[in-house]
Amino acid sequence: MSIKNGTFLIYRNFFVVWCGHLLMDLMLGVWPVFKTLARLDLTKAGLIAGCGMFVGEGLQLIFGVLSDRGHHKRLIACGLLLMAGVAFFAYAQSYLFLFLLILLAYLGSSAFHPAAVGLIGQWFESSSGVFVSLFFAGGTLGAAMSQSIFSATYTAFEGKTWILMLPVVVIGVALMAIKTPGRGDGAAASLRDQLRGLRPHLRNLGSFFTLQVLLQTLLLSMIFLLPDILRGRGFPDWFALGGAHLFFVSGTALFSVPAGHFADRYGARHVLFAAIAFSGLFLYLFLMLSSIALPMCAVLLFFLGGAMGVGNPVIVASGSRCVGPELRGLAGGILMGGATCVASLGMMATSGIAALFSDEPPAQALQVMGILYLVAMLVVICSRSIQENVRMIKAAL
């Protein structure tokens, strides 16, 4: 095969994986709006999502090791195909069946993401940052459209959402056919050996992990409760059941790249402190201004999404600098999958707190959980690891 044909093959395969990521995050973002459309009990819906996320994301480290051993294609294709179960939420007759579908979805996500990122890193070794960013942009686009597409399909087809399975199956089959150059030889270190090598860095990673858990708890809780808050305040369904989520995620997508640039240039501490401060400000403005007009609400959600969403990539990138190159994949898995796993418990707690209130329960629950921003600020101020990150950046300049 000529170099030109080989390059075309890699770009074609990347596009298929990109489409898979778009569909993956599109389907993964459906649950918050489905539970509102189906009028599920808020506490039970939070428990289902939290338990599924806890188990699924908790296995991401194991899937990462399997990916390092060369099983990228199987993990990517099977991960996306498991996500097809989301299309059958509307047909579930019990909370148990819904939990099984959610569990399969998060298992699929946990298998897909580390394998896809690892494969892209093999394809584009000299420009992996650009292509990984493009890969995540596809996921962000899918997440932004998820609630609008599902609610429109649910309404237009009177709950017959199985049609959403079709593109997932098509891309899943296409993923099985892609070529995977650079297949591993199966000699990758075991998870136990990698964790042993990570032990000297645990103190440094601990601050970033704690901060990630705090911020992800608030982000997941906000996304989960947003449709209920807006519907309770009388906003039209097109906005409450998808449009608002689009504005929120668009803010995250737009502000993530500049935040990463400033973190690379000036250190994570300054960016994270600003993100936490603005997140707290915009969150309480949103929660307290219950009669705000729709255009102003959309603008506020855009900036709130930008402030709340930028912490994740900054923490993952900065935390990975604390370890050697051979452990950065594992460190990233801990800061993404591991932190999300723990944060899912916080999301369950938020839905449980909502049951204690009678007046705007979701908004009241988020007001209570907002105290976590104060804890996050203390972590940023007091953490030696985050301060050292700033010194590392300055030394490199």
The pLDDT of residue 268 is above 70: yes
Q: pLDDT tens digits for 236-254? A: 989 998 899 999 998 988 8
* Residue among 322, 228, 258 nearest 33 (CA): 228
Assigned token pair, 130: 């650009």
Assigned token pair, 58: 């908790």
Say if residue 173 is in the same domain as residue 219.
Answer: no
State residue 165's pLDDT score: 92
pTM of the model: 0.79
- Separation between Cα atoms, residue 384 and residue 203, nearest integer Å: 10
Say if residue 62 is in the same domain as residue 210.
Answer: no
* Residue among 381, 130, 129, 397 nearest 266 (CA): 397
Q: Once rounded to an integer, what is the mean pLDDT over residues 176-203?
A: 63
Q: pLDDT tens digits for 110-159? A: 888 878 877 776 777 655 555 766 777 788 888 888 988 998 898 888 88
Say if residue 146 is in the same domain as residue 290.
Answer: no
- Helix (H) or strand (E) run with residue 281 in it: helix 268-288
- Separation between Cα atoms, residue 254 and residue 360, nearest integer Å: 30
Under a CB-based contact definition with an 8 Å cutoff, are residues 344 and 53 in contact? Answer: yes
Domain count, the chain: 2
Say if residue 203 is in the same domain as residue 249.
Answer: yes
- Separation between Cα atoms, residue 390 and residue 78, nearest integer Å: 40
State residue 393's pLDDT score: 47
Find the domain containing 198 and state its range. 190-397
Residue at which a domain ends, from 166, 188, 210: 188
- Helix (H) or strand (E) run with residue 196 in it: helix 191-198
Assigned token pair, 220: 């997941």
Say if residue 282 is in the same domain as residue 374.
Answer: yes
Say if residue 71 is in the same domain as residue 95.
Answer: yes
Assigned token pair, 362: 């979701």
Say if residue 167 is in the same domain as residue 240.
Answer: no
As a whole-number percent, the residues of the chain with pLDDT over 90 amount to: 36
The pLDDT of residue 262 is above 70: yes
Q: Once rounded to an integer, what is the mean pLDDT over residues 66-89?
A: 86
Say if residue 52 is in the same domain as residue 179.
Answer: yes
Confidence of residue 184 (pLDDT cuts 50, 70, 90): very low
Between residues 393 and 65, which one has the greater pLDDT?
65
Residues 6 or more apart whose Cβ sits within 8 Å of residue 224: 31, 32, 46, 49, 347, 350, 351
Question: In CATH, what number is assigned to the domain containing residue 275?
Answer: 1.20.1250.20
Residue at which a domain ends, from 188, 204, 238: 188
